[in-house]
């Protein structure tokens, strides 16, 4: 597991590209073509995954629905029937 004070040194290539260390990519589940937000923090930068809390909640909801054997169509139908 990564520690908060763990520091890796990386190189900035000609076009501004950087390579994240393999252990960091694996630990944070960052895969090829993933998109990260980059923020300036003082004289440093902060990278974070783009997945918002809404996307995380949506994924968790989909996972729970699969576990319960529910389909979105069933939920929509139930909502429509509640209005009647």
For the domain covering 1-50, report its CATH number.
2.10.260.10
pLDDT reported for residue 73: 86
pLDDT of residue 74: 84
Report whether 65 contacts 52 (CB < 8 A). Answer: no
pLDDT per residue as tens digits for the range 26-64: 988 899 998 898 889 999 998 887 777 887 888 898 899
Q: Any idea which residue has 């209005």 for tokens?
A: 83
Under DSSP, the state recorded for 16 is: S
Tokens 């590209």 label which residue? 17
Domain ranges of the chain: 1-50, 53-83
Rounded to the nearest 5 degrees, what angle is found at the Cα of 31, between the Cα atoms of 27 and 34?
120
Quote the pLDDT of residue 2: 54
Lookup: tokens for 69? 């054997």
pLDDT given at position 17: 94
Q: Give the global pTM.
A: 0.49
What are the beta bridge partners of residue 46? 39
């Amino acid at each position: 597991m990564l520690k908060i004070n763990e520091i890796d040194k990386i190189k900035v290539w000609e076009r501004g590209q950087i390579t994240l260390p393999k252990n960091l990519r694996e630990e944070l589940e960052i895969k090829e073509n993933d998109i990260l937000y980059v923020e300036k923090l003082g004289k440093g930068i902060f990278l974070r995954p783009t997945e918002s809390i809404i996307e995380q909640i949506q994924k968790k909801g989909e996972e729970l629905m699969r576990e319960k054997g529910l389909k979105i169509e069933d939920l929509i139908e139930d909502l429509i029937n509640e209005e009647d």
